Amino acid sequence: MPVAYLGLGSNLGDRRATLAAAVRRLRAEPGLRVLAVSGYYETAPVDCPPGSGDYLNAAAAVETDRDPHDLLKLLQHIERQFGRVRTGVNSPRTLDLDLLLYGDRVIDTPDLVVPHPRLHERDFVLIPLLELAGSVGHEVVHPILDKTANELMGADLTRYADPSLPRPRVYLNRPPSPQLLAGQRALVTGSTSGIGVRIAIEYAGHGATVISHGRRPDFDHPDRYISADLTDPVECDRLADEAWNRSGGLDIVVLNAGADTLTGDAVSWSFDQKLDALLAVDLKATMRLGRNLGARMKARGRGVILTVGWDQAETGMEGDSGQLFAAVKGAVTCFTRSLALSLAPEVRVNCLAPGWIRTAWGETASPGWQERVRRETPLGVWGLPEDVAAAAVWLASPAAGFVTGQTYRINGGAVRG
């Protein structure tokens, strides 16, 4: 797929939050893959109405199956979703998404000009593009001027002989996250990638002390990580003991670990091999750890346990994967409800049921699967690990104190029956 470069800007409202949310929205779009995003740069408004606020700008490199005009329509649609109202030339806006470059294409139509006609004149575009070159792995080249972003910047530096022209400056302000989980101690299994690592990051960001888990050792973070092979019941018990003792007791346990039967060598496994792996990790380890740690939490008088199911477990999906995941994740959902009854009122237990979430498999899924996501999800986009993590934060927080024994579908509204 061709690589396109996008410019992002905002000078109304919470600019940083808006740009971050816009990047998440791009990452969720089927048939579009975000390769890299630059840092944020703050710039005085250029050719804008008097009183316009400073802009925050960034650039993103994306791969897409959309043609340039279709991509422009998508960008304008996202702008409208973020409250963009076009009231005049260069008027203040919540979000500005520009198509800067589309491969080596040169387009000049009434509704689209590529490369962007002022790309080479704007440092708040060139500086982020220059930053992206290292991330994408090749130079960003202007197809008409036949110059790289670095060459264009070099030619433009003479303007800064005039000290009254401020250069774009890196914007480092990060507003603190609300500490919804301050003082809590959490274990997140299967937290070296995908949904698990995002839950661990969000928990830490909200003030929790997090112990992560994976199958392989992590020698860089031995105090915050425990390795264990959850196909082995003895290893499950060791993980429970070590996590509990190391933290002086756990307040939150997220049983996210699951066998990967969709990528790598597992793609060629037989149905029985995949079933054995899913039963061992997704079901048996979840049950063993949930019962072990749940009993300790109940005896101590407090705690939250989250399991991970699947949004189509009850309705089913055709094919081998549908049969496998419906059987195993359906059992996880049923176990969750029973465990919630067993551990109440001291411990709350709920199940996260993700739908089409763009983990490593989703990043490389075929065009057919991308279209299926569009078709089956009312919101028309992939879910992201951050979407599941947001639900995990809420369910672990005091705000969900009256919620237990429930299954929460994070699936963009998909309902099948």
Residue in the structure block whose two tokens are 């991308």: 370
* pLDDT score recorded for residue 137: 65
| Token pair belonging to 210 | 């997090």
Residue 193 DSSP label: S
Domain at 3-170: CATH code: 3.30.70.560
Average pLDDT of the residues of the chain: 90
DSSP state letters, 215-256: SS--TT-TTSEEE--TTSHHHHHHHHHHHHHHHTS-SEEEE-
Query: Quick check: 124 and 105 in contact, CB under 8 A?
Result: no
Query: Quick check: 124 and 15 in contact, CB under 8 A?
Result: no
* pLDDT score recorded for residue 164: 61
Tens of pLDDT, residue by residue over 256-310, are 999 998 888 888 999 999 999 999 999 999 999 999 999 999 999 999 999 999 9
Q: Which amino acid is at 152?
A: L
* pLDDT score recorded for residue 130: 86
* pLDDT score recorded for residue 155: 59
* pLDDT score recorded for residue 36: 94
Residue in the structure block whose two tokens are 């089409």: 356
Residue in the structure block whose two tokens are 């400056």: 169
- Using CA atoms, how far apart are residues 29 and 96, in angstroms rounded to an integer? 17
Q: Would the pLDDT of 39 be above 70?
A: yes
Q: Would the pLDDT of 1 be above 60?
A: yes
Q: Which residues are known catalytic residues?
A: 84, 93, 96, 98
Which of 61, 39, 59, 172 has its CA nearest to residue 122?
59
Q: Would the pLDDT of 360 be above 60?
A: yes
Which of 413, 406, 359 has its CA nearest to residue 196?
359
Residue spans of the domains in the chain: they are 3-170, 185-410
CA atoms within 13 A on the CB side of 40: 19
Q: How confident is the model at residue 227 (pLDDT cuts 50, 70, 90)?
A: very high
> For the residues 141-145, what does the mean pLDDT come to?
86
Who's near 193: CB < 8 A, 6+ residues apart? 359, 360
Q: Would the pLDDT of 326 be above 90?
A: yes
What percent of the chain shows pLDDT beyond 90?
Answer: 68
Neighbours of 86 (CB within 10 A): 10
37-41, 146-150, 364-368: the lowest-pLDDT one: 146-150
Q: How confident is the model at residue 2 (pLDDT cuts 50, 70, 90)?
A: confident
Burial code (b: 16+ CB inside 10 Å, e: under 16) for 48-84 equals: beeebeebbbbbbbbebebebeebbebbeebbeebeb
Identical topology for domains 3-170 and 185-410: no
* pLDDT score recorded for residue 51: 64
Q: Would the pLDDT of 123 be above 70?
A: yes
Stronger pLDDT, 204 or 169, i.e. the higher one: 204
* pLDDT score recorded for residue 339: 98
* pLDDT score recorded for residue 357: 94
Sign of the torsion angle spanned by Cα atoms 262, 266, 268, 269: negative
DSSP state letters, 359-402: SHHHHT--HHHHHHHHHH-TT-S-B-HHHHHHHHHHHHSGGGTT
Fold topology of 185-410: Rossmann fold (3.40.50)
Q: How confident is the model at residue 138 (pLDDT cuts 50, 70, 90)?
A: confident
